């Protein structure tokens, strides 16, 4: 019987923050004596999932990491109901697929398994995304459409790190009154959350809360692979700036007398449409790094030493 070191650990109880940090710690299972720098470096896909500052010094630097504040690890959901849903909407199962008849059909993969093909992937993807946004489908299911590879990949397994983002309305909706390019999170939802903070409802089932925002489609969870097929703006102000530029209005970029005014991000002219918006840039930090005052005014190397 082989023994594995590090399976059980003594929970750090020095402070409340150190306990939360220890519970959200990750460990890369490779030797500490290696001279390779690549496993220790921060990758671009870690944005919003792994804290860029909170890592120990010495041999474990970059190998022991911490999850970001809003990072979530998926628990896994059954995939069979989703496969049945797609079959009822025109998906041809892989056992009946004839490549000569439909050479340009989009392949559909569920948790890495090829389950079928579909002739109209744009319509199918919009239907599946709509079911997730309306909470008929679990929020932790990831939907990735690779247009160039003609593939539609769905993941519902456990162990994927995900993070929440605000959703952006993709089409004009007469029922809700939302226009294309607006946040689904409306002022009515924000005011309702504020009222619940001051006067909690007597019936807990009537509370909106975080779960209510997910059910309303205002927030979606994205994993690193789905982020590759999404366009995410940094702040709602950037979204408003993008809408003005698309309408042909040139915004005033003069900061005036306010030298501390935030610089607006220049819009990429090739950007077709934003799909999501960051909740706040500070959500990339972990539990301990987020309590450092003014981290955006410090040298980045000093953040890890705090």
- How many Å apart are CA 39 and CA 30, to the nearest integer? 9
- Residue 161 has a pLDDT of 94
Per-residue pLDDT of 260-274, as tens digits, reads 766 666 666 666 788
- Residue 205 has a pLDDT of 80
Residue 290 has which token pair? 């987020």
**Burial (CB count <10 Å: 0-12, 13-18, 19+), residue 163:** buried
**Burial (CB count <10 Å: 0-12, 13-18, 19+), residue 304:** middle
Q: Across residues 212-237, what is the average pLDDT?
A: 89
- How many Å apart are CA 110 and CA 91, to the nearest integer? 13
Per-residue pLDDT of 132-181, as tens digits, reads 988 888 999 999 999 899 999 999 999 999 999 999 988 877 777 777 77
- Residue 283 has a pLDDT of 92
3-state helix, strand, coil in the chain (%, to 5): 30, 15, 55
Residue 73 reports pLDDT greater than 90: yes
Q: Is the separation of the CB atoms in 182 and 169 below 8 Å?
A: yes
Identify the DSSP state of 281.
G
- CATH architecture entry for 73-159: Alpha-Beta Complex (3.90)
Q: Residues with Cβ < 8 Å from 5, sequence gap 6 or more? A: none
- Number of helices (H), then strands (E), belonging to the chain: the values are 8, 12
Q: Across residues 46-55, what is the average pLDDT?
A: 91
- Residue 75 has a pLDDT of 92
HSE-CB for 164 with a 13 A CA cutoff:
16
CA 54 from chain center: how many Å?
20
Work out the end-to-end distance of the chain between its first and last CA atoms, rounded to an integer number of angstroms: 42
CA 264 from chain center: how many Å?
23
Q: What percent of the chain has pLDDT over 70?
A: 90
- For the entire predicted model, the pTM comes to 0.86
**Domain residue spans in the chain?**
16-70+284-303, 73-159, 163-252+262-278
Q: Is the separation of the CB atoms in 66 and 50 below 8 Å?
A: yes
Q: How confident is the model at residue 4 (pLDDT cuts 50, 70, 90)?
A: confident
- How many Å apart are CA 291 and CA 242, to the nearest integer? 32
- Residue 251 has a pLDDT of 66
């Amino acid at each position: 019987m082989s023994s594995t070191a590090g399976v059980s650990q003594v929970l750090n109880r020095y402070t409340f923050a150190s306990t939360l940090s220890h519970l959200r710690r990750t460990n890369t299972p490779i030797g500490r004596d290696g001279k390779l720098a690549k496993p220790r470096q921060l990758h671009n896909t870690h944005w919003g999932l792994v804290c860029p500052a909170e890592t120990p010094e010495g041999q474990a630097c970059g190998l022991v990491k911490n999850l970001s504040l809003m990072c979530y690890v998926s628990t896994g959901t059954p995939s069979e109901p989703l496969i049945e849903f797609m079959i009822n909407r025109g998906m041809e199962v892989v056992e009946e697929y004839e490549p000569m008849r439909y050479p340009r059909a989009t392949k559909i993969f569920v948790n890495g398994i090829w389950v079928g093909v579909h002739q109209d992937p744009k319509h199918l993807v919009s239907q599946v995304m709509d079911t997730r946004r309306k909470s008929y489908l679990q929020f932790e299911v990831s939907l990735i459409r690779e247009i160039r590879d003609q593939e539609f990949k769905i993941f519902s397994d456990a162990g994927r790190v995900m993070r929440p983002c605000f959703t952006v309305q993709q089409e004009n909706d007469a029922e809700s009154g939302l226009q294309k390019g607006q946040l689904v999170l409306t002022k009515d939802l924000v005011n309702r959350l504020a009222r619940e903070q001051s006067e909690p409802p007597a019936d807990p089932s009537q509370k909106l809360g975080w779960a209510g925002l997910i059910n309303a489609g205002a927030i979606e969870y994205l994993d690193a692979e789905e982020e590759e097929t999404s366009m995410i703006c940094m702040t709602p102000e950037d979204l408003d700036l993008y809408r003005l530029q698309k309408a042909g209005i040139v915004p005033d970029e003069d900061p005036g007398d306010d030298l501390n005014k935030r610089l607006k991000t220049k819009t990429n002219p090739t950007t077709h449409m934003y799909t999501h918006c960051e909740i706040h840039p500070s959500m990339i930090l972990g539990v301990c790094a987020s309590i450092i005052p003014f981290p955006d005014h410090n040298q980045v190397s000093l953040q890890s030493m705090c």
